[in-house]
Amino acid sequence: MTDHSISLPSPAKLNLFLHITGQREDGYHELQTLFQFIDICDELSFNTKQERSITIEPAIEGVSLEENLIYKAAQSLWPFTSEQIGVHIALTKRLPMGGGIGGGSSNAATTLLALNQLWNCNLSIDQLADLGRDLGADVPVFVRGHAAFAQGIGELLTPVEPKAPFYLLVKPNCHVSTGQIFTDKYLTRDTPPIRIAHALKLGGKNDCLEVVKKHNPEVDEAFRWLQNYGDVKLTGTGACLFIAYDNIEDAKRVSASIPKKWQFWICQGCNVSPTHLALNQWIKSKRARGSIAD
Ligand X SMILES: Nc1ncnc2c1ncn2[C@@H]1O[C@H](COP(=O)(O)OP(=O)(O)O)[C@@H](O)[C@H]1O
- Give the strand pairing for 156-159 and 86-92: unpaired
Q: Which is nearer to ligand X, 191 or 237 (CB)?
A: 237
**Binding flag, residue 275, ligand X (CB under 6 A):** no
| Residue 260 bears catalytic tag | no
Would you call the peptide bond into 140 cis, given omega within 30 degrees of 0 as the criterion? no
Q: Which is nearer to ligand SUD, 15 or 117 (CB)?
A: 15
**CA 166-168-172 angle, 5° bins:** 155
Distance, in Å, from the CA atom of 288 to the CA atom of 8, rounded to the nearest integer, reads 19
The reply on whether position 65 binds ligand X by CB under 6 A is no
| Binding of residue 100 to ligand X (CB under 6 A) | yes
Cα–Cα dist 163/271, whole Å: 9
Q: Which is nearer to ligand SUD, 90 or 174 (CB)?
A: 174
Cβ-based nearer residue to ligand X, 1 or 63: 63
Give yes or no for residue 161 binding ligand X (CB under 6 A): no
* Contact residue for ligand X among 16, 20, 60, 278 (CB under 6 A): 60
Judge contact between 136 and 211, C-beta under 8 A: no
Residue 23 and residue 30 in contact, taking contact as beta carbons nearer than 8 Å: yes
Instruction: Return the one option of ligand SUD, ligand X, none that residue 98 interacts with (CB less than 5 to 8 A, by type).
Output: ligand X
Nearer to ligand SUD, 105 or 117 (CB): 105
- What is the rounded distance in angstroms from the CA atom of residue 67 to the CA atom of residue 53? 16
Q: Is 138 a catalytic residue?
A: yes
One of 15, 16, 36, 103 touching ligand X (CB under 6 A): 103
131-166: buried (b, 16+ CB within 10 Å) or exposed (e) per residue?
Answer: bbbebbbbbbbbbbbbbbbbbeebbebeebebebeb
Of 42, 49, 134, 138, catalytic: 138
Asked if 54 and 87 touch (Cβ cutoff 8 Å), the reply is yes
Binding footprint of ligand SUD on the chain (CB under 6 A): 15, 27-29, 31, 33, 100, 102, 105, 136-138, 153-154, 178-179, 182, 236-237
Helix (H, G, I), strand (E, B) or coil at 32: strand
Determine the residue with CB nearest ligand X. Answer: 104
Q: Is 194 annotated as a binding residue?
A: no
Of 13, 72, 171, 213, which residue is the catalytic one? Answer: 13
Q: 60 touches which of ligand SUD, ligand X, none (CB within 5 to 8 A by kind)?
A: ligand X
By the rule CB under 6 A, 134 interacts with ligand X = no
Distance between CA 125 and CA 140 in Å, rounded? Answer: 9
In order of 13, 112, 160, 269, the CA distances from 126 in angstroms are 20, 12, 18, 24
Task: Tell the smallest beta-carbon distance from residue 201 to ligand SUD (Å).
Answer: 22
* Residues recognised as catalytic: 13, 138
Interface ranges with ligand X (CB under 6 A) = 60, 63, 67-70, 97-105, 107, 236
